[in-house]
Amino acid sequence: MSTPTRTPTGAPEHLTGPGSGGVGDDAQRPDGVLKVRGEFAYGSDLWMEDMLWGVTLRSPHPYARIRSVDTSAALATPGVSAVLTSDDVPGEKVYGLELADQPVLALDVVRYQGEPVALVAADHPETARLAAARIHVDYDVLEPVTDARTALGHPTWNQVHDSTAEVTELSRESAHLHPEGNLVRHLKVRTGDPAPTADVVVVGEYEVGMQDQAFLGPEAGLAVPAEDGGVELHVATQWLHVDQKQICSALALPPEQVRLTLAGVGGAFGGREDLSMHVHACLLALRTGRPVKMSYNREESFFGHVHRHPATMRYEHGATRDGELVYVKAAIYFDGGAYASSTPAVVGNGGTMGIGPYVVPNVHVDCYGAYTNNPPCGAMRGFGSVQTAFAYESQMDALAAELDMDPVELRCRNAMEEGSATPTGQVIDSPAPVVELLRRLEAMPLPARSGDGEVDLRDMPGGVSNTTHGEGVRRGVGYAVAYKNVAFSEGYDDHSTARVRLEVVGGEPTATVHTAAAEVGQGLVTVEQQIARTELGVERVVVHPKDTSVGSAGSTSASRQTYVTGGAVKAACEKVREQLVARAERLVGRTVPDLRLAGGAVVSDSEDITVPLADLLGDDVLEETLEWRHRPTEAIDPETGQGFAHVQYAFSAHRAVVDVDTELGLVKVVEMACTQDVGKAINPQAVVGQIQGGTAQGLGLAVMEEILIQDGKVRNPSFTDYLIPTILDMPPMRIEVLEYADPHAPYGLRGVGEAPNISSGPAVLAAIRAATGLPLTRVPVRPEHITGT
């Protein structure tokens, strides 16, 4: 049985210790000062003498056949060095993370607005843009398929009501956007009684709009042709090696000739897991023999990366009069857009965890991912679990209302705990403190209401826009709890590689950590340093630039890097430490059982031994490289969804307090409180930062963030109209971090980044419902939904 390593856990300031920059300390980021001073070089800052600028011509149509492409006028433009189409792709012409179905450049059909059709390289970006506008593409415009259920031929929800009726026939009516049909994946979870009955039944239909990652640093990179006929690509990305694999395939080059280095990344959140300009820049560089920079502007960025899947969901919950869940049936539809991207894995998460962190004996879930002509959707923080949490937590509130029971009490009564079985038959074998997370939230004091004194507009819905001085304002409180798998699931060989070197530099023992794990702003570089400091007992740790000259670290996604790359760095350090201890024992001429590394020396607590590393190493360099894996998961049964699908779960809960101007439909989130179990806070300050950021992103989806699509076309590709929370929208937070060690994970840690993104939005939605008394089944909630206009 695991016990909290810090009890009681508490507010962030209590987790903070001065420390020496090791594990558990608030070590300072190595890139922090540069970023604050505006001196950090992001991908868009890359620059070389004699470089060319690449731009992309994109389809204006969501669905069209290409009759012809005429590039002659573009090529004739002075300053233009190359104009490329799909004919110029030397290798495989399609790529993809899980299924290779997306053209590098459009073949005969474009399937979404913004699909790349042609490329131009020129000596100035304006010249390149002008030339791209001179490419004549003759389109035969087709009627787009813009609804996931229509695409799959499931116009009704009948499969929820009749559990024995399986929908296998895809509609013959709907256009097949891909040769195999419009179904990307159908995941089934079947456990318990297929036809359960219950005293109390609530049914709800829910909809989640398309959220964007809205990272601040748009897609950018620089491709440099190499003397060996290969290419070096500096790019802001999330997973260098999966990029490399896809680029090699498109360029028909071996990995040795496609070398990637991570450029400065300004946020990712899943949106950089797919390729954007990677192959394009390489194609142009190899064709022209010159370095080529590509850097999207904000508008192009909205077309240049995948988004969060919009979802439509229907849930049916059955419970006893006492509030014990008897069954859950759910039909979940994810709109994957034009290409698969990571839709299969999103369906995997949405389906397997789609009823939330509750124990339910009878579960029947169908989760679908569909192709449509909407923008491609793929990875985004929370990855399939964000959408379902809105549905299952809304259902829990509806059920509580039906039972006349407190919503927290209902959740606690059905909460998972260590030893519980998930609907996929997996026994949870590490702490699952769902009840404690909720009870701790409940015990926190509620924020005060605005006093009778002078009104501070900044505290009001509408802010300084001066729409209310209290008129029409009602307060609501809502709770939500969620869980999320950490790392890659369903049998994926999920590993990372670390190379750790120890040597004496300028008299000081210095460790160098080399991994390919992308630092996207989350602070992994800090964590790598902290682990090396703790394991090797040295202060100075250099983080080697992230590149493909070391093995894959896997993706910076799925809340996995501290776990998996952290685990790899720890293991590589341990190998180095073994060598040091062996050397020390040779020096003292015998075995000493308690030798350890501290303060730049090998020391013993039982004997008076202190061997400085500088003496032990001399001019020698110790280096270890190893691949590290978490314990394996397994594929789930295709008919029942049963199996050990996920290696670890992260749990978090939120309480939201909102003030709603019920007459104008404007919302002010007054306070967000979060409790989360992180197993072990490797860097408490960074943990709290992840919780705050994840909370803000979840709040954003609940009340404002949506890519609006009409007939397959994006209506708001700008930060003028795609709104993300400001400081007046994101309130102060109360945060309690719990540390119940997971015995299977390095240091007992749990992935942190995603869980708070999942439970935050549903808590906000619940609070708005509480304030307004409205059912509110769609997010983002717009003012119109509240005012009914």
Name the site residues for another protein (rule: CB under 8 A): 129, 297-299, 458, 461-469, 471-472, 663-666, 668, 703-704, 708, 715-716, 718, 720-721, 723, 725-729, 782-784, 787, 789
As measured in angstroms, the least distance from the Cβ of 300 to another protein is 9
CB 677 within 8 A of CB 738: yes
Evaluated on CA atoms 704, 705, 710, 716, the torsion sign reads: positive
- The DSSP bridge partners found for residue 502 are 511, 622
Containing 452, the helix (H) or strand (E) segment is none
Output 151 or 666, the one with its CB closest to another protein.
666
Q: What is the DSSP letter of 355?
A: T
Evaluated on CA atoms 578, 580, 581, 586, the torsion sign reads: positive
727-to-216, 393, 765, 767 alpha-carbon distances in Å: 16, 27, 19, 20
* Helix (H/G/I), strand (E/B), else coil: 323: coil
**546: nearest Cα among 564, 563, 524:** 524
29: tokens are 């980021």
As measured in angstroms, the least distance from the Cβ of 771 to another protein is 16
* Helix %, strand %, coil % of the chain (to 5): 25, 25, 45
Evaluated on CA atoms 80, 86, 91, 93, the torsion sign reads: positive
As measured in angstroms, the least distance from the Cβ of 467 to another protein is 5
Q: How far apart are CA 161 and CA 343, in angstroms?
A: 26
Backbone angles phi, psi at 298, to 5 degrees: -60, -40
As measured in angstroms, the least distance from the Cβ of 465 to another protein is 4
626-to-238, 533, 580, 731 alpha-carbon distances in Å: 21, 18, 17, 44
As measured in angstroms, the least distance from the Cβ of 738 to another protein is 31
Q: How far apart are CA 310 and CA 333, in angstroms?
A: 8
- The DSSP bridge partners found for residue 476 are 658
As measured in angstroms, the least distance from the Cβ of 476 to another protein is 17
Output 404 or 784, the one with its CB closest to another protein.
784
578: tokens are 């073994």
Output 344 or 783, the one with its CB closest to another protein.
783
Q: How far apart are CA 635 and CA 261, in angstroms?
A: 33
Q: How far apart are CA 596 and CA 578, in angstroms?
A: 10
Output 735 or 786, the one with its CB closest to another protein.
786
Containing 611, the helix (H) or strand (E) segment is strand 610-612
264: tokens are 């400065």
Backbone angles phi, psi at 602, to 5 degrees: -90, 125
As measured in angstroms, the least distance from the Cβ of 721 to another protein is 5
As measured in angstroms, the least distance from the Cβ of 116 to another protein is 17
Q: How far apart are CA 268 and CA 698, in angstroms?
A: 15
Output 204 or 725, the one with its CB closest to another protein.
725
CB 780 within 8 A of CB 673: no
Q: How far apart are CA 428 and CA 774, in angstroms?
A: 36
Output 20 or 787, the one with its CB closest to another protein.
787
Q: How far apart are CA 146 and CA 707, in angstroms?
A: 14
As measured in angstroms, the least distance from the Cβ of 690 to another protein is 23
As measured in angstroms, the least distance from the Cβ of 225 to another protein is 29
559-to-146, 305, 484, 562, 687 alpha-carbon distances in Å: 31, 20, 9, 8, 12
As measured in angstroms, the least distance from the Cβ of 723 to another protein is 5
As measured in angstroms, the least distance from the Cβ of 708 to another protein is 5
Q: How far apart are CA 713 and CA 309, in angstroms?
A: 15
CB 617 within 8 A of CB 501: no
Q: Per the omega criterion (within 30 degrees of 0), is the bond before 612 cis? A: no
As measured in angstroms, the least distance from the Cβ of 680 to another protein is 36
- The DSSP bridge partners found for residue 596 are 603
Q: What is the DSSP letter of 751?
A: -
Q: How far apart are CA 367 and CA 395, in angstroms?
A: 17
376: tokens are 């491609």
As measured in angstroms, the least distance from the Cβ of 344 to another protein is 32
As measured in angstroms, the least distance from the Cβ of 557 to another protein is 28
As measured in angstroms, the least distance from the Cβ of 471 to another protein is 6
Q: Treating both helix axes as pointing N-terminal to C-terminal, what angle do 561-588 and 524-536 enclose, rounded to 10 degrees?
A: 20
Output 301 or 510, the one with its CB closest to another protein.
301
Q: How far apart are CA 137 and CA 106, in angstroms?
A: 11
As measured in angstroms, the least distance from the Cβ of 468 to another protein is 7
Distance of CA 85 to the CA centre of its chain: 32
Output 321 or 469, the one with its CB closest to another protein.
469
CB 20 within 8 A of CB 539: yes
Beta strands 325-335 and 362-370, pairing class: parallel
Length of the chain: 789
As measured in angstroms, the least distance from the Cβ of 53 to another protein is 14
* Helix (H/G/I), strand (E/B), else coil: 294: strand
Beta strands 713-714 and 709-710, pairing class: antiparallel
